[in-house]
């Protein structure tokens, strides 16, 4: 089986900032040089397959052929027992063109109500992640992870993204949206799929030494991923709390640290933001982040 080597450059075949950031966090300890398909200007293929495995393979092969580099793609979603596995491969499409998962979660809740399936017991569901590693010559490997649990309504918590605020994993009382990122990643479907990927593709590599101090300064990539992925009021509130902490810790890297300067910059950002069908909370979060670095 072909494996990745030290310093390999790898394309993360996604334009979803939250997903790209999550996968990059898993790759960083192995010193891989990861770049997203969006950063390379690669187009996203239409997801025409009928399975998670098929769509992951389609995205990975497209990015590998377009970049000439090995590519890692993820196809993931929520499968609900009482909805016969829906939304499944259509999980992102239930969020509409603006990827508004507040809309998607409401649609899930309504569909469960139509079937009188809110219980007790609570509706059973699982998240699934399928990773595909593709090489430019067309060779592929598939890795899969699942996490089982139940759904709640209304959604709870402002962390995570997608359907996280309505999913409680087995053995837990908090939703993925209420968990701190480290707690979620320890048990998430994507982490479990990555564990299979790691065992096959990375275990021969020497990880970066544990305990090395992280680079000082703002984690702007994490903030950008959070702003670009949120859909709900609670997620916006959580983002604002992280932005306040960032100002306290990294004020030297902010362009506008006084309230007056920051509000002037925020006003400018909101005036100049292009028309979009994204959720209003997401547009505001992006503007708030941009106002920290621009006048």
The residues assigned a catalytic role are: 75
- Cα(165)–Cα(112) distance, integer angstroms: 16
Opening angle at CA 49, ends 98 and 130, nearest 5:
80
Quote the CA–CA distance of 46 and 55 in Å, as a whole number. 9
Alpha carbon dihedral 94, 182, 170, 201, in 10-degree steps, equals: 80
Taken as a whole, the chain contains a residue count of 295
Q: Is 14 annotated as a binding residue?
A: yes
Q: 225 — phi, psi (to 5°)? A: -65, -40
Q: Is 198 annotated as a binding residue?
A: no
Binding residue per annotation — 81?
A: no
Residues 10/27, Cβ–Cβ less than 8 Å: yes
Maximum CA extent, the chain: 59
> Is 31 marked as binding a ligand?
no
> Is 52 annotated as belonging to a binding site?
no
Rg of the Cα atoms in the chain: 20
- The answer on whether 218 is annotated among ligand-binding residues is no
List the structure tokens of 264: 């002037």
Question: Does 75 carry a binding-site annotation?
Answer: yes
Angle between helices 233-250 and 220-229 (to 10 degrees): 160
Q: Is 15 annotated as a binding residue?
A: yes
CB 269 within 8 A of CB 290: yes
C-alpha to C-alpha distance for 288 and 252, rounded to whole angstroms: 17
Q: Which two tokens stand for residue 73?
A: 């793609």
- Annotated ligand binding at 164? The verdict is yes
203 belongs to an annotated ligand binding site? no
What one-character DSSP code corresponds to residue 95?
G
67 among annotated binding-site residues: no
Q: Is 220 annotated as a binding residue?
A: no
Sign, Cα dihedral of 196, 199, 200, 202: positive
Tell me: is residue 159 an annotated ligand-binding position. Answer: no
- Quick one: tokens of 273? 């933001």
What's the token pair of residue 74?
A: 């993820």
Establish whether 150 is an annotated binding residue: no
Write out the binding residues for Mg(2+).
46, 75
Extract the annotated binding site for substrate. 14-19, 76, 161-164, 184, 189-190
């Amino acid at each position: 089986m072909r494996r990745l080597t030290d310093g390999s450059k790898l394309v993360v075949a996604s334009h979803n900032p939250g997903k790209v950031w999550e996968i990059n966090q898993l790759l960083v300890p192995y010193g891989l040089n990861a770049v997203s398909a969006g950063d390379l200007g690669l187009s996203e293929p239409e997801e025409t397959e009928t399975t998670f495995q098929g769509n992951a393979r389609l995205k990975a092969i497209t990015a590998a052929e377009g970049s000439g580099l090995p590519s890692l793609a993820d196809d993931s979603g929520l499968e609900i027992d009482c909805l016969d596995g829906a939304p499944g491969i259509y999980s992102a499409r239930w969020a509409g063109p603006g990827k508004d998962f507040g809309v998607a979660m409401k649609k899930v809740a309504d569909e469960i109500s139509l079937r009188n399936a809110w219980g007790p017991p609570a509706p059973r569901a699982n998240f699934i992640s399928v990773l595909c590693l593709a090489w430019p010559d067309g060779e592929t490997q598939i890795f899969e992870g699942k996490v089982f649990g139940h759904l709640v309504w209304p959604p709870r918590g402002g962390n995570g993204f997608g359907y996280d605020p309505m999913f409680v994993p087995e053995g837990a009382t908090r939703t993925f949206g209420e968990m701190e990122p480290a707690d979620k990643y320890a048990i998430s479907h994507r982490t479990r799929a990555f564990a299979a990927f790691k065992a096959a593709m990375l275990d021969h590599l020497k990880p970066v030494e544990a305990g090395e101090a992280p680079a000082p300064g703002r984690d702007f990539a994490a903030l950008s991923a959070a702003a670009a992925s949120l859909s709900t009021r609670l997620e916006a509130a959580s983002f604002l709390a992280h932005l306040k902490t960032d100002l306290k810790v990294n004020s030297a890297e902010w362009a506008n640290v006084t309230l007056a300067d920051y509000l002037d910059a925020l006003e400018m950002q909101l005036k100049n933001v292009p028309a979009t069908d994204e959720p209003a909370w997401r547009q505001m979060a992006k503007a708030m982040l941009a106002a920290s670095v621009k006048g």
